[in-house]
Amino acid sequence: MANTRYIFVTGGVTSSLGKGIISASIAKLLQASGFKVTIQKLDPYLNVDPGTLNPYEHGECYVTNDGAETDLDLGHYERFLNIPTSQANNITTGRIYQNVINKERRGDFLGKTVQVIPHITDEIKRCIKLLGTKHKFDIVITEIGGTVGDIESLPYIEAVRQLKWEMPGKVLVIHLTLVPYLSATGELKTKPTQHSVKMLLEAGVQPDILVLRAEKRITTDVRKKVALFCNVDIDSVIESRDVSTIYEVPILMHEEKLDEIVIKKLKIISKQKPQLAVWQNFLKRLKNPKKQVTIGLVGKYVELADAYKSIIESFIHAGSVNECKVNINLIHSETLDNNNMLEKLSKLNGILVAPGFGHRGIDGKIIAVKYARENNIPFLGICLGMQCAVIEFARNVIGFTDAHSTEMSRTTTHPVIDLMEEQKEITEKGATMRLGAYQCNLVKGTVAQKAYQKTTIQERHRHRYEFNNGYLADFQKHGMTIAGINPDMNLVEIIEIPSHKWFVGVQFHPEYRSTVENPHPLFVEFVKAALKK
Ligand code: GLN
């Protein structure tokens, strides 16, 4: 089916209703029905990408194979669809304006006044259609960030209006709103939904389907009322009630017949009934754990679990494989010290030291590594977490007492982690790290190689510093193994301590590649090792 259809998902009433999960769920159902589907997120803020945003602002920055620093919703898209996204799947207002202004500077507009309509809206439409025309998807689902009524999202809603007009029958708008429950009167209230649909109508967009988020069951009367006030068919008013895991949402949406309605309204023919056996099996194992483990996640953004979204989801996938519930204990690295170390770490079955940037909280991370290493607790260090493992080993095993990363200390006499050669001349912050997927060759017989069960892998990176090869011999002599190497640049990508039960540090981010259908082998094996403890 080359004739691409476009589905837009907008949000009303409040933010954080789960547009990303609804978008991913519809996509999953359509994919399971045999369509080639992708999801895209349009973010209305002015940053060119979220790469320069503090995780407190926007949660985790998700990295794609082609090295784009993107919104964390793209992680959900990949985890649900099990196909990679790319730069084209996340567009911000900053990027749209940058593209338009670059064209203006080149003289592409031939002396015309450059305006929001048509130039900005044309660029938005171009970015939306690119996935259909260039990447040949049957269905492109576009999630529009923010809430309808925000000043920032106006050009996006206008672009949707134009596309609906230009491609009759091929564009569908799904609007997600909140139906609050008033316990005082025991009622579900539809007025906020009516108002937010009015706001869409004022912008010229009639939603085709309404998804109502609610904590109580939506009654037929409520459905009828919403349908009447908002000009939608009653069977297009879909209930989305709160569930214990996001992975249940596709199943609920299927029960609500959302996929059937979308297919009918887009006048497309599905090749098969949704094939959801793998998904259902994953859910069954997830919801019926036979055992449990507790993993300590040591990082400095623990106040906001979204900062470690992909890591937390990877543990959910790995837990399901091992039929075990993985409890995550978020441990603030800034408050971890030698005095409270026992109290905070001794009951854990495994310790993960998280990625991160800058000096804050680094000492706590190094303490966590030392505790894991000395007490034979399964350990996984990711990016900065691996670098901390290298620093700790250099200080406490090799005896380089002031060993450090030059990111934290410029004056260390043992810079065991140092800036990459290619990074030395770079001054700009945005999109200038070592980003995206790189090849890594695994050493036979190592924990990593046994986990992956292959010798060549591709994993995604986001860092400026690396293992300093000048110290390689010292580490090997004292019992650290290099388990993975980048063949092109000879960079150390994986370290292990073979005398330890399970001690692995990776310079890349395995969490970006774990999906429901392909749980990441390192997480699966880490949980397995934790189970044995
Ligand atoms: N700050 C470290 C570096 O840039 C690690 C980055 C990370 O953990 N993503 O190399």
Q: Running DSSP on this structure, what letter comes out for residue 497?
A: -
Choose which residue among 52, 365, 383 to substitute to test ligand 1 binding: the one with the highest number of ligand atoms within 8 A of its C-beta.
383
Specify the 3-state DSSP secondary structure of 166: helix
Cβ pair 81, 39 in contact under 8 A: yes
- What tens-digit pLDDT sequence spans the chain (533 residues)? 458 999 999 999 888 899 999 999 999 999 999 999 999 999 999 999 888 888 888 899 999 999 999 999 999 999 999 999 999 999 999 999 999 999 999 999 999 999 999 999 999 999 999 988 888 899 999 999 999 999 999 999 999 999 999 999 999 999 999 999 999 999 999 999 999 999 999 999 999 999 999 999 999 999 999 999 999 999 999 999 999 999 999 999 999 999 999 999 999 999 899 999 999 999 999 999 999 999 999 999 988 879 999 999 999 999 999 999 999 999 999 999 999 999 999 999 999 999 999 999 999 999 999 999 999 999 999 999 999 999 999 999 999 999 999 999 999 999 999 998 777 787 777 778 899 999 999 999 999 999 999 999 999 999 999 999 999 999 999 999 999 999 999 999 999 999 999 999 999 999 999 999 999 999 999 999 999 97
- Atom of ligand 1 lying closest to residue 417 CA: 10
β-pairing, 456-463 vs 434-442, is antiparallel
In sequence order, which residues have a C-beta less than 8 Å from that of residue 16 and are 6 or more positions away? none
β-pairing, 481-486 vs 37-43, is unpaired
Token readout for 223 is 């459905």
Token readout for 139 is 């269905």
Distance (angstroms) between ligand 1 centre and the Cα of 465 equals 6
Residue among 307, 297, 417, 298 nearest 364 (CA): 298
Token readout for 317 is 């996938």
Residue found by looking up tokens 């770490």 in the block: 345
Sign for the CA dihedral angle at 520, 526, 532, 533 comes to negative
Distance (angstroms) between ligand 1 centre and the Cα of 385 equals 9
For residue 235, the one-letter residue type is D
Question: Which residues form the pocket of ligand 1, taking CB atoms under 6 Å from any ligand atom?
Answer: 355-357, 383-384, 407, 462-465
Query: Where do the DSSP E strands lie in 261-338?
Result: 291-299, 324-332
CA–CA gap between residue 133 and residue 128 (Å, rounded)? 9
Protein residue with least CA distance to atom 6, ligand 1 = 463
Catalytic residues: 383, 509, 511
CA–CA gap between residue 505 and residue 496 (Å, rounded)? 6
Choose which residue among 353, 386, 461, 462 to substitute to test ligand 1 binding: the one with the highest number of ligand atoms within 8 A of its C-beta.
462
Q: What is the end-to-end Cα distance of the chain in Å, rounded?
A: 51
Specify the 3-state DSSP secondary structure of 454: coil
In sequence order, which residues have a C-beta less than 8 Å from that of residue 237 and are 6 or more positions away? 209, 210, 212, 218, 223, 226, 227
Q: Running DSSP on this structure, what letter comes out for residue 352?
A: E
- Look at phi and psi of residue 119 and say left if phi exceeds 0, alpha if psi is from -120 to 50, else beta: alpha
Distance (angstroms) between ligand 1 centre and the Cα of 476 equals 23
Sign for the CA dihedral angle at 115, 121, 127, 129 comes to negative
Protein residue with least CA distance to atom 3, ligand 1 = 463
Residue found by looking up tokens 């996204």 in the block: 85
CA 161, 165, 171 angle in degrees (round to 5)? 80
Cβ pair 251, 283 in contact under 8 A: yes
